Structure formats: C-alpha cells, structure tokens
Amino acid sequence: MQDKKITINDVAKLAGVSKRTVSRVINRSPLVGENTLKKVEKIIKEVNFSPDKQARGLASSRSYLLGLIYDHDDSLSIVQVQQGALSVCAQLGYELVVHPCKSKETDFIEECINSINRSKLDGVIILPPISENKQLAAALRAANCPYVRIASVDFDDKLNIVVSDERTAMKEMAEHFVDLGHKNIAFISGPLSYRSSIERMEGFLFELRSANIEIAESHILEGENSYESGMKCAMELLTKETRPTAILANNDEMATGVIRVASDLGIKIPEELSVAGFDDNIYASRIIPSLTTIKRPIENMAALASQKLINKVQSEHSAPIKLCGEVKPHLIIRESTTKKST
Amino acid sequence: MQDKKITINDVAKLAGVSKRTVSRVINRSPLVGENTLKKVEKIIKEVNFSPDKQARGLASSRSYLLGLIYDHDDSLSIVQVQQGALSVCAQLGYELVVHPCKSKETDFIEECINSINRSKLDGVIILPPISENKQLAAALRAANCPYVRIASVDFDDKLNIVVSDERTAMKEMAEHFVDLGHKNIAFISGPLSYRSSIERMEGFLFELRSANIEIAESHILEGENSYESGMKCAMELLTKETRPTAILANNDEMATGVIRVASDLGIKIPEELSVAGFDDNIYASRIIPSLTTIKRPIENMAALASQKLINKVQSEHSAPIKLCGEVKPHLIIRESTTKKST
DNA sequence: TTGAAAGCGCTAACAA
DNA sequence: TTGTTAGCGCTTTCAA
C-alpha cells in the first residue's frame, strides 16, 4: 500500500517524458513513439502505477462505473448476471454498480436517470423484463447514457442489445412435449405486455401446430411470472373437467407454483402431469421433481453486454476485448416431464 | 438533464457567498451562519444542485463508493443483502460496488485489496462466511480500509461488526424438535472451521441436552453447506440401521439436499422424517414440503452494516442516520417438521 | 463566521 | 511525435 501515492508526475519524471505522454500511454493512444512507449511502460510496471480513476474521471468526464439496472422483484438470476458482467468489467478496469429499481412506481425512470447522473455512470446494462421498457430506453438516450439491453427479441440497434433466441428454444420444448405424446397441453404465459412472453408463447404454439396440436384457448392463461401467479393459474387448469396432461409455464417460478398446486391436489408429477418451465434458475434442478426447463445462458449474455457497452463507452479508444461464448438457450430435460400416461 | 452543469461556483454566485461557504453547507459544517445556511440551501434546492462525486472525491480522497465483499459460491441471499445495503447507501449518497471473490484461491485477499485501492472504495461490507477471515480483516486494516463484518459471533470491535444471535435462534429450533417429541435426532453441521457453524451447533446441542436429549456422535456430521454435501450426509444418515426421526441441517441448502435424498429413498417427510434448515432462503417456502427453518434478517443486517460503515467513513462529519430494525433470527415452522410418529 | 488561493491527479486543447 | 498550459469541480490550508 506504500505505492499508493505514485502519480502520473512521478512516472513522467522517472521516464524523462512529459505528463501528457504518460497519459497517452495509459490511454493507448497510437501517437506514441515505440521507444517512448516501451520506456514509459517499463516505468509504469516498475513502480506499479495505476492511474487514479477519480482524477481521470473528473478530467475526462468518465467514471469507469457501469450500472446494472433490473427490477428488484425479479432478481433471482441476478447473481449470475453480476458474475458475467464483472468478469468483463474487472478485466477492463470498470466497476459495477447495482441498481435495482421498482418498475411499478411511476417515477422509476426519473429515479434511474437521477441516480445515473449523480454517479455519472458511463453506461448501463438493462436486464429483462425492464429491458423492454421503451420510455426507459428513450430517457437513457435523452440523458446521453449509453446502454445495452438484454432481451429476447431484436427491438433495438444491434449495438444496444444482446438477444437470445427464445422462440427457437421454445420450439425445442414443444418438440419435447410432442415426443412425449402429449396432446392436451396447457400454457401459462408471462404478461402479454412483454415481448419475451409473446416470443416464448408463439414459438411454443407454432411448433405445436406444426405437429397438428392446437391448444384450446381455455388452456392458455396469462400469468405474471411469479410463483403465486403460477399457483393461481395451475389451480384453474387442474380443476377443469378435462385436465391437461402437460403444462408449460413461461418461467421456472411459475412452474414451481404449478408443481406445488399439483402436489396439493394429489396429482402426481410427472406420471399424471408433465410440467416444464423456462430459465433454469438455481432451484430448477433441486426441486422435487427436478424441473425440465430451458437454460438461458444469462451469465454469458451479461458478459457480452458488458463488452458491447464498454466498446461503446470507449468508442475512439481502442480496447482489446475478448469475445465470449454462446448465448443460445437450450432444453434441459429433467424429472418433471414424461410420456403421456395411456 | 439541463441542470447537469451547475457547479458549486454557480451556487456560490447565486447565493452571493464564496465557494468555500457552499462547500461548508454541503458538508454540513457547523461553522455557517444561520442566515447564510438558509440562503445557500434555498439556492441549492432551486437549481437542483448536487455536488460532483468525482471532484469531491478527488479533492477529499473519498470515493463515495462502498464495496460488498462475499464469496461467490455462497451468494443465494446476496440479492436481499444488496437491497438492504442499498436502502441506506442511496439515502446517504453512496454507491454500492459488488465484489464477489474466490476465497479458495490463495491470493484472493491481495486481489481484494488491489481492487479496493484501484477504486478507492471508502469502505467494505463483508458477508459471511468470509467475514470470519482474519487475514482479510487484517489486510483491510493494514490498507486502512474501514470495514464492517456481518457475522454470528462478536469477534471484532462492536463498530466493525453486525451480529445476529444464531445460538439463541438455534435454541428455538431445538425446543421445536423437543416439542415434537423427537429423541433420535441428527445434525448436519457446517464446516467446523467457521465460527457460525460452531455457534449453531452448540446452541442446538446445548438446548437439546437441557431437555435430556443427547445426540449420538455418529449422528453429527460435518457438511459443507452445499446442496450436494447435504445429500451426501443425508445418505449416510438415512441408511443407518437406526435412522434418525429428525434431521437438522446447518442451512437450507443442505436441508434441501436431505429432502432430496429422503425422497429418493422413499422416506416420507415429515411423516417419517422431520427436516429443518437455517437461513430461510428464497426457496425454503417453495420446496415441497416447505421447509421449517430459521429466518436470518439478512437484509436488515446489511442495512445496519451500511450505516455503521458510513458512520465510520464520515467520522467527523455529522450524518443523520436512521437506525433500522431488528437483527434477531427466528424460527419459522413449515411443513417439513412434525410430531414424531409413534 | 467567511473568503482567496492552491491544489487533488488526470485529460484536453493547442503548440512546437 | 511530444510538451505546455489550462482546467475538470470540489476541498482544504491559511488569513481575514
């Protein structure tokens, strides 16, 4: 901790160049002679110099802070997301600031923007479902705050969004249901105001139709993506005269609610009822029966989003950014689904 | 967003005072005349001025950034913790930076300290179990970085720690087991290198002894707090000749593992086996059967920790800090425990 | 109780 | 390709 007081001036002196040159080296400016570059870099290493973020920020009006905006109700996978984002941030000298917000309150956008301004965040990553919020995106643009949205559909400039193809993933799920011989299928959608809900639903229904299976309208319920909502919808579905033999829920939370209700009603899963979800949240593999679901590679998506964001933020400066993995969701088959009983 | 450029100079001019005076107002210095104070505060409100954190930080070598240090393996309740901390941070103008770390890697402490220095964090909150790490605390002290630890025992200066009385909570649990008539009880502890594991175990065993119940040594297993570890221990316990009628695990994760194994072995919970955990994590109420457990008010603890930390950071400056609620853990009885079958 | 001036450590014009 | 000179917006000596 001794070396904390080393400043750009010290480096400049030691290297026998000007401050400005050191600054150029730090910022990877191309306008530095090979020799000077080497000399300066050597000194920097030797004295273990790292530039002061605040000073840098004050001078260049950047903060090296990235924000993570998400709805605080819907934060189950937030840990993985943070991990993914951090893996990139740490590498590139950015810090991650968390900002859960309450999308139900009317002034949440204003509140977000204020907070961003106060901390001068260089940019933000927005998680679903508020990543779909148009007003938020517009406000961000107005405030001149770069953002990257994580979403399931391509509703923004390529540079502003990381998408996972949930529609196709849902087809896999539908195939799985078909393979198992289910015909009397029910679906609990997410709120239809979300594009992702529509995507998932359409992907599922479309593929089912290709297999000549049509879900009765009464077997499609609009849920709210919560456990409680899953229970409510399940109760409705499972007390019908002709009960479905398989239920797909828009997410694992709701699927968990379905399993709960089925259990309470004495309906055996998967023997009498197949249930599946979406997300592969932490508990999907641990509940009993373990849940067939679709894994969303949310950690990778967050990493990718960070990369995109930092690229934008650094625009002119060149930054060597490693690209990271796949963002394709895929089916995971577990205990909660099985062949339709005959 | 218009008002972004307003600086302390503008305010000073408008109020007809010097920069320095405005600064005093901002920092709640007592050396300001009543009238001046009012005048300046009025202007500040009018023009919606808020001081620039970076400039402030650069000048005063503070960052208004607090760090949250936790082991990235053990991050299930991290969301609540963040919430609690943020509720306080936001109020007092601090931002929260997340820092998961890998306590298993040898240089994790160095890595932490580096990261703290780089971002000039004003202080950090350390979550269990690494809150118990002595070397980490020592390194923090050496680096002159204020910290507050969240823990289950009082092993540091009052100002540096927020404790929840887990020992007493465990007594409640023991009473519950006794009330249910269990005598053949097993316990899966956490790693015994953790003080919290010891606390919980001793609290439990002690109270049991008061009721003249002694757990056989073979019925006390040391787990690792993970789901998998819970399964492993459960397998051992449930395949013994005389199987326990009740199992308490050191946390919900392990309890979930126990439930899984019992289910696989065809042992009915709670009829044939009572199971309980500790933490009341997100899923404790949702698994089947729902889990009897002890709720740790982790959100409140985090809020309290933030308050303590900010108090330390601001030492001389007076800061109006609302105190927040209880940090007493308590028993929650759900489906997974019941009377010993006769 | 207040103010003037000198930085905090860096980047950004503008020259050279 | 490099250096000089100003600041960024605030806090902090030190005087008044």
Nucleotide nearest B18, CA–C1', reads C3
Confidence (pLDDT) at B97: 92
Instruction: Using a CB–CB cutoff of 8 Å, tell me whether A97 touches chain B.
Output: yes
Structure tokens at A38: 């080497």
Q: What is the per-residue pLDDT for B231? A: 98
Q: Strand, helix or coil at A276?
A: strand
Task: List Cβ neighbours of B216 (8 Å cut-off, separation of 6 or more).
Answer: none
Provide the pLDDT for residue A321. 54
Question: What's the pLDDT score for residue B61?
Answer: 82
What the block records as the tokens of B5 is: 């450029």
Q: Which nucleotide is nearest to B57 (CA to C1')?
A: D10
Q: Where are the domains of chain A?
A: 8-59, 63-165+297-328, 166-295
Query: With bands split at pLDDT 50, 70 and 90, how would you rate the model's confidence at B324?
Result: low
Assess whether B59 (CB) lies less than 7 A from strand C: yes
The maximal CA–CA distance of chain B, rounded, in angstroms, is 86
Amino acid of residue B314: Q
Is the CB of residue B313 less than 8 Å away from at least one CB of chain A?
no
Task: Please give the pLDDT value at position A325.
Answer: 59
Angstrom CA distances, B340 to A270, B214, B294, B336, stand at: 30, 17, 20, 12
Residue numbers 30-89 of B with CB closer than 7 A to any atom of strand D: 49, 51-52, 55-56, 58-60
Homologous superfamily of the A166-295 domain (CATH): Response regulator (3.40.50.2300)
What pTM does this model have? Answer: 0.90
Whole-number distance in Å between A38 CA and D1 C1': 14
Query: B141 touching A, CB under 8 A?
Result: no
pLDDT of residue B106 exceeding 60, the answer is yes
Question: Pick from B104, B73, B80: which is nearest to B229 by CA?
Answer: B73
Lowest mean pLDDT, pick from A62-66, A185-189, B76-80: B76-80
CATH assignment, A8-59 = 1.10.260.40
The 10s digit of each residue's pLDDT in A111-138 is: 899 888 878 899 999 999 999 999 999 9
Pick the residue from chain A with its C-alpha nearest to B93: A118
CA of B59 vs C1' of C8, distance in Å? 5
Alpha carbon distance A299, A325 (integer Å): 10
CB contact under 8 A, A58 and B63: no
pLDDT of residue B73: 75
φ and ψ of B68, to 5 deg: -120, 110
A20 DSSP 8-state letter: H
Average pLDDT over residues A283-312: 94
Kindly give the residue spans of alpha helices, DSSP state H, lying in A281-337: 298-314
pLDDT digits (tens, 9 = 90+) for B210-227: 999 999 999 999 999 999
**For residue A167, is pLDDT > 60?**
yes
B65 to chain A: which residues are within 8 Å by CB?
Answer: 95, 97
Task: Write down the H helix ranges in A211-278.
Answer: 227-238, 252-264
Inform me whether the pLDDT recorded for B3 exceeds 50: no
Nearest to A83 among B72, B79, B97 (CB): B72
Query: Residue A129 burial (CB < 10 Å; 0-12/13-18/19+)?
Result: buried
CB-CB neighbors (< 8 A) of B79 in chain A: 75-76, 78-79
Q: Which nucleotide is nearest to A33 (CA to C1')?
A: D1
Average pLDDT over residues A273-285: 95
Greater pLDDT, B74 or B57? B57
- Asked whether residue B28, judged by its CB, lies under 7 Å from any atom of the DNA or RNA strand C, the reply is no
Q: Do domains A8-59 and A63-165+297-328 have the same CATH topology?
A: no
Separation of CA A32 and C1' D2 in angstroms? Answer: 8
Distance CA A7, CA A220 (A): 64
- Distance to chain A for B282, nearest Cα, Å: 9
- Confidence label for B321 from pLDDT (cuts 50, 70 and 90): low
Contact predicate B271/B338, CB 8 Å: yes
Q: Taking residues A26-52, what's their average pLDDT?
A: 87
Work out the number of other CB atoms within 10 angstroms of the CB of residue B317.
10
**How many angstroms away from the CA of A96 is the closest CA of chain B?**
6
Å: B97 CA to C3 C1'? 37
Tokens 């100002």 identify what position?
A: B159
pLDDT at B1: 39
Instruction: Identify whether B129 is preceded by a cis peptide bond (ω within 30 of 0).
Output: yes
Sign of the alpha-carbon torsion through A20, A22, A26, A32: positive
| Cα distances (angstroms) measured from residue B164 to each of A47, B78, B160, B284 | 44, 17, 14, 20
Q: What per-residue confidence (pLDDT) applies to A1?
A: 39
Exposed (0-12), middle (13-18) or buried (19+): which is A55, by Cβ within 10 Å? Answer: middle
Q: How far apart are CA B116 and CA A118, in angstroms?
A: 21
Average pLDDT, chain A: 91
Q: What is the pLDDT of residues B303-315, one digit of tens each?
A: 999 999 998 887 6
User: Among B79, B141, B336, which would you mutate to test the A interface (most chain A Cβ atoms within 10 Å of its Cβ)?
Assistant: B79
Interchain contact, A97 vs B93, CB within 8 Å:
no
CB nearest A118 (choices: B50, B98, B260): B50
Give chain B's mean pLDDT. 91
Give the pLDDT band (50/70/90) at residue A2.
very low
Residue nearest to nucleotide D5 (CA to C1'): A20
pLDDT at A314: 78
Residue B301 contacts residue B150 (beta carbons within 8 Å): yes
Contact B222, B248 (CB under 8 A): no
**Domain spanning B63-165+297-328: which CATH class is it, in words?**
alpha beta
Distance (Å, rounded) from C-alpha B195 to C-alpha B173?
A: 19
The structure tokens listed for B207 are 């109270």
Q: Tell me whether residues B83 and A100 touch, CB distance under 8 A.
A: yes
Q: Which of B251, B214, B219 is nearest to B234 (CA)?
A: B219
User: pLDDT tens digit string along B29-52?
Assistant: 888 888 888 988 898 898 888 888
Question: In chain B, which residue's Cα lies nearest the Cα of A263?
Answer: B288
Q: What is the pLDDT of residue B334?
A: 98
Name the residue with the least CA to C1' distance from nucleotide D13: B20
Rank A87-101, A265-279, B69-83 by mean pLDDT and report only the highest: A265-279
Averaged over A44-48, what is the pLDDT? 88
Per-residue pLDDT at B2: 43
Q: Which one-letter amino acid corresponds to residue A49?
A: F
Is the CB of B95 inside 8 Å of chain A's CB atoms? yes
Residues 5-24/B with CB within 7 Å of nucleic chain C are 16-21, 24
Could you say which of A54, A79, A98 has the minimum Cβ distance to residue B120?
Answer: A54
Question: Using one digit for the tens of pLDDT, what is the confidence trace for B142-198?
Answer: 998 999 999 999 999 999 999 999 999 999 999 999 999 999 999 999 999 999 999
Q: Do A288 and B288 touch (CB under 8 A)?
A: yes
Three-class SS of residue B246? strand
From the CA of A35 to the C1' of C16: give the distance in Å.
20
User: Letter for the amino acid at B306?
Assistant: S
pLDDT of residue B82: 92
Please state, in angstroms and rounded to a whole number, the distance separating the CA atoms of residues A165 and A184. 26
Would the pLDDT of B230 be above 90?
yes
Rounded Cα distance, B272 and B20, in Å = 73
C-alpha to C-alpha distances, A192 to A117, A197, A202, A231, B291, nearest whole angstrom? 32, 6, 11, 18, 33
| CB burial of residue B217 (10 Å; 0-12, 13-18, 19+) | exposed
- Residue of A197 and A33 predicted with greater confidence: A197
Identity of the residue numbered B259: I
A43-CA/C11-C1' distance, Å:
20
